[in-house]
Amino acid sequence: MTATEHRAPAAPSRAAQAPAAARRAPRVTHRMWGTAAFHTSAGLLSLVWLVPIAVVLVTACRSFDDIAANGLGTLPHSFTLGGFRQAWVDGGQQQALINSLVVTIPAVLLSLLLASMAAFALSRYDVPFRRALLLLMLSGNLLPPQILLIPVSKLSEQLGLYDSLYALIGVQIGFGVGFYVFVLHGFMRAIPPEIQQAAVIDGAGPWQIYSRIILPLAKPALAALTSLSFTWIFNDLLWAITVLRSDSRMPITASLLGLQGQYVSQWNVIAAGSVIAAAPTVIVFLRFQRHFVAGLNLGAVK
């Protein structure tokens, strides 16, 4: 019997490697050009967003004489924070910011509290007409707010809440809960039911399941909604001028509108007021940025 020889496979020749390398070269070049085009377009788009913000910040730190002498679009020849003082004290931005926070913080907390309770009940228990209730809540957000201005104003007058911050808080809660319930329902429904079943076996009641299990698991969704709802309510102008009348109760957006009428040509004061009005929402977004992105990614996967 003859022994068979096992030979190692021969290495591919240079002539065989050349076509493969030639095929890879256009792919690498195409990928490099695609990456360069993406970064270029993203950089240009970022400039489109950042240039107006930079112009407002620079204008807020210029004096009125500098803007009047050299123009609004020129390089600054002065640096002063007097525009912020005028907007904060003389323009009434201080009281307006307090009014906005008094309205926004309770409205956000109460809206998310009520929405999380409703979403927990609709997603974890067999509630009659559950789908109809969800559609009813969602359909309320599809109505144009312009057609509800007069009914809301008349209703606040009949309830004795017109021209008060309580009326604005109630309006913001009423028009926000439906959307928050719809979003939180999707997150809570995706939580495995075995977790709730294990808690029930351990003797946990509905309130303990809601507060100790479901809410911590829905933290990314709650953080994302907190950032969004704070921005929406804080920047709202339509409902503020609908249910409020006194200047001393106006929020920051309505006060900024009055500031433009008071300081028509003093662009540094108007720009300073805009920076003051935008600062709280920027702070809240930066605070919840990590949870906000996690909530968006979690919603995309689910």
Question: Measuring CA to CA, which residue among 62, 52, 51 is closest to residue 268?
Answer: 62
Query: Which numeric CATH code is attached to 83-301?
Result: 1.10.3720.10
pLDDT of 2 > 50? The answer is no
Q: Which two tokens stand for residue 243?
A: 């249910």
Q: What is the pLDDT of residue 10?
A: 52
Q: What does pTM read for this prediction? A: 0.80
Q: What is the pLDDT of residue 109?
A: 95
pLDDT of 156 > 70? The answer is yes
pLDDT of 26 > 80? The answer is no
pLDDT of 9 > 90? The answer is no
pLDDT band of residue 133 (cuts 50, 70, 90) is confident
Q: What is the pLDDT of residue 78?
A: 86
Q: What is the pLDDT of residue 1?
A: 43
Q: Is 180 exposed, middle or buried (CB count within 10 Å of its CB: 0-12, 13-18, 19+)? A: buried
Interval 264-278 mean pLDDT: 87
String of DSSP letters for 165-230: HHHHHHHHHHHHHHHHHHHHHHHHHTS-HHHHHHHHHTT--HHHHIIIIIHHHTHHHHHHHHHHHH
Q: What is the pLDDT of residue 266?
A: 84
Between helix 93-124 and helix 219-234 the angle, nearest 10°, is 140
What tens digit of pLDDT does each residue of 160-209 get? 889 999 999 999 998 889 889 988 988 888 888 888 888 888 888 889 99
pLDDT band of residue 243 (cuts 50, 70, 90) is very high
Q: Which two tokens stand for residue 287?
A: 């605070």
pLDDT band of residue 143 (cuts 50, 70, 90) is confident
What is the C-alpha to C-alpha distance for residues 40 and 30, in angstroms, rounded to an integer? 15
Q: What is the pLDDT of residue 138?
A: 79
Helix (H, G, I), strand (E, B) or coil at 161: coil
pLDDT band of residue 135 (cuts 50, 70, 90) is confident
Residue spans per domain, the chain: 83-301
What tens digit of pLDDT does each residue of 74-131 get? 888 888 888 899 889 888 899 999 999 999 999 999 999 999 999 999 988 888 888 8
Average pLDDT value for the chain: 83
295 vs 124, more confident: 124
User: Is there a contact between 255 and 269 (Cβ–Cβ < 8 Å)?
Assistant: no
User: Is there a contact between 214 and 191 (Cβ–Cβ < 8 Å)?
Assistant: yes
